[in-house]
Structure 1
Amino acid sequence: MRVLILNQAEVSRLLPMAECMEVMADVLKALARGEAILPLRPVMWLPERVGALAMMPAYLRNLDIMGLKAISVFPGNLGTEFDSHQGAVLLFETKHGQLLAIMDASSITAIRTAAVSGVATQLLARKDARDLAILGSGVQAQTHLEAMLLARKIARVRVWSRDPDHAQFFAQGQSQRHRITVEPMRSAPEAVTGADIICTTTSAREPVLLREWIAPGSHINAVGASTPFTRELDTPTVVNAQLFVDRRESALIAGACNRRPGRSTSHI
């Protein structure tokens, strides 16, 4: 049995954002048609919730492929040499259950998550959306900037981080990378006021985005609050928003949706 092994750099090279957005659009359609199996992920939390281990199995019928992502999540790694998300993706064929590939999960997670936000932005944001705000300055902030630049003709980018030095470093690096001016802002309200598109990419446990700051008709990609213990949006934002999710069952356990009265959501 031959097994393909891809490291972080190889995954990044072989999975460009534009292609990943196309793939994710197709996969989301397959999921909506019932052509995929995607169980809720089991999560094991460490004492005092300093970190977690999550396991995410899935099956795609039209490719006769099944896989599993096992990933550790350590928010305290932000700003260090270690990724906050580390792990591996295992890929199997479904005729005999043979292992086909083992791939680094850090790059896949970073690219795939932003690619889904990119697809959502293409479908849901106003066509004339040009002003982008990013809350957070980590890996997801980087990949979301890349996805947003593909989804819309962005003319202005503002970034805010709880650590001003991180925001400054992000702005300098991403300005050079994408040849667009990224403005580091001193506060979250300054970053989002008047923005057409807002991406929240933090590990916050308390809201970092308040309803009173948000312009009417803004599109929000809220990706950081993926557990009941994290929260990026305040209750008025969630209550007054029209929510679109990739999977209702997963969204209902997330930090924002589990605080929404009535919990009414729509699928993309």
Structure 2
Amino acid sequence: MLVLNAVDIQKVYTMKDAIEADKQALRMYTQGLTEVPLRINFDAKKGQNLFMPAYIKELDVSGIKIVSVFPDNPKIGKNSVPAQVLLLDPETGEVCALIDGTYLTQLRTGAVQGAGTDLLARKDAANAVLIGSGGQAASQLEAMLTVRPLKKVAIFDIDLERAKTFASNMSTKFAKFGVNIYASTNLDEDIAQADIITSVTTSKAATFKGELVKKGAHVNGVGSYTPEMHEIPESVVKRAAIRVLDTKDGVFAEAGDIIDPINHGLVSKADFFELGDLVIDPKKCRQSDEQVTLFKTVGSAVLDVVVGYDIYLKAKKMGIGTEI
């Protein structure tokens, strides 16, 4: 069995790799070439344990992500949301890889937004806004920078000092992109100028004003994943000319951003594509520079297994990781 930590993954895998793998993962999902049972959730004494399996028929590979949510872990110097991804060898059925699931989740979640942005945002997009500077924010920023030659990215957080610290750190980390990354002190102004808006929060209310979104903008909803959470304004969902989801089953069951507008009669389930539909048929992507487009993701074990297996194959080829 090959054990891969975050440093190992970074040696063999790029954001660009992950974006392409996510596109293919969701293409296979839409084509019915995967099996994704419902997530299993156990309440433990000190937290929750979640088990997310998937089988990828096209690759003949199975895997499972095990995620725990233990809020008190930081008190003992541990991550509050530890995760691991296990893969099974297609030839023998044995566990062939144990991969850092925390880093893998950040990578594939940033990458799926990158996939949506790549397929839907204007090619000449120059200005972006990233709302939220938590644990997922760095990969979200990297994904936007990977697929579009952005000139400015405004970082907004309810904690301005945290936004400033994040912007400063990311300016150093992503200096190679030559982009101006700064903390937003006027979100309305930055939204009005934005070609790409990415919200990655667990907010129960819209994180920006939908009426400020300009023609041609692309909006990503990444953070909310329960019916109570609602970070994307309903007006944006209604206005969008193209509405795309990572998986219909997941979003229609979990994302308040989309569930509420449907329940309020603003849109119907028939008004949405899956991202896999766009990979299969690029004609379903943006057709004009005037269209407002929307991508919403809640995640799927399909992404973990496909990206994880791709990482595993590259690591094996390059001799990276620890065999046990």
CA, structure 1 residues 216+72, in 2 after alignment: closer, same or farther (shift >3 Å)?
Answer: farther
Match of 1:240 in 2: 239
1:57 equivalent among 50, 53, 60: 53
Give the share of equivalent positions with the same residue, in percent.
31
Alpha-carbon spacing, 1:145–1:13, altered in 2? closer, same or farther (3 Å): same
Separation in 1 of the partners of 2:187 and 2:57? 43
What secondary structure, in the 3-state scheme, does the structure 1 residue paired with 2:141 have? Answer: helix
Q: 1:177/1:258 Cα in 2 relative to 1: closer, same or farther (>3 Å)?
A: same
Q: Distance in 2 between matches of 1:75 and 1:170?
A: 23
The reply to whether residue 152 of structure 1 matches residue 148 of structure 2 is yes
Relative to structure 1, the CA distance from residue 70 to residue 187 in structure 2 (aligned partners, 3 Å threshold; closer, same or farther) is farther
Uncovered stretches (5+) of structure 1, i.e. residues with no partner: none
Aligned residues: 262
Tell me how far apart the structure 2 counterparts of residues 171 and 57 of structure 1 sit (CA, whole Å): 36
2:168 corresponds to 1:172: yes
Q: Secondary structure at the match of 1:157?
A: strand
Is residue 134–residue 191 contact of structure 1 (8 Å, CA) maintained in 2? no
1:249 paired to 2:245: no
Equivalent residues of 1:141, 1:201 under 8 A apart = yes
Give the TM-score of the pair, scaled to structure 2.
0.74
SS, match of residue 243 in structure 1 = strand
**After superposition, where does 1:73-152 map in structure 2 within 5 Å?**
73=69, 85-152=81-148
Partner of 1:5: 3
Letter in 1 for 2:150: I
**CA shift in 2, pair 1:146/1:84, >3 Å:** farther
| Larger displacement relative to structure 2 (69-78 or 10-19) | 69-78
Higher helix fraction: Structure 1 or Structure 2? 2
- Please state whether the residue corresponding to 2:55 is helix, strand or coil: strand
The CA distance in 2 between the partners of 1:260 and 1:42, in whole Å, is 28
How far apart, CA to CA, are the structure 2 residues paired with 1:189 and 1:51?
A: 38
Deviates more, 1:174-183 or 1:101-110: 174-183
TM-fit CA distance, 1:59: 0.9
Larger RCO, structures 1/2 (Cα 8 Å, 6+ apart): 2
Which one of the candidate residues 5, 16, 33 is aligned to 2:14?
16
TM-score calculated relative to the size of structure 1: 0.88
* Paired amino acid for 1:232: E
In the TM superposition, residue 115 of structure 1 has moved relative to its aligned partner by 0.8
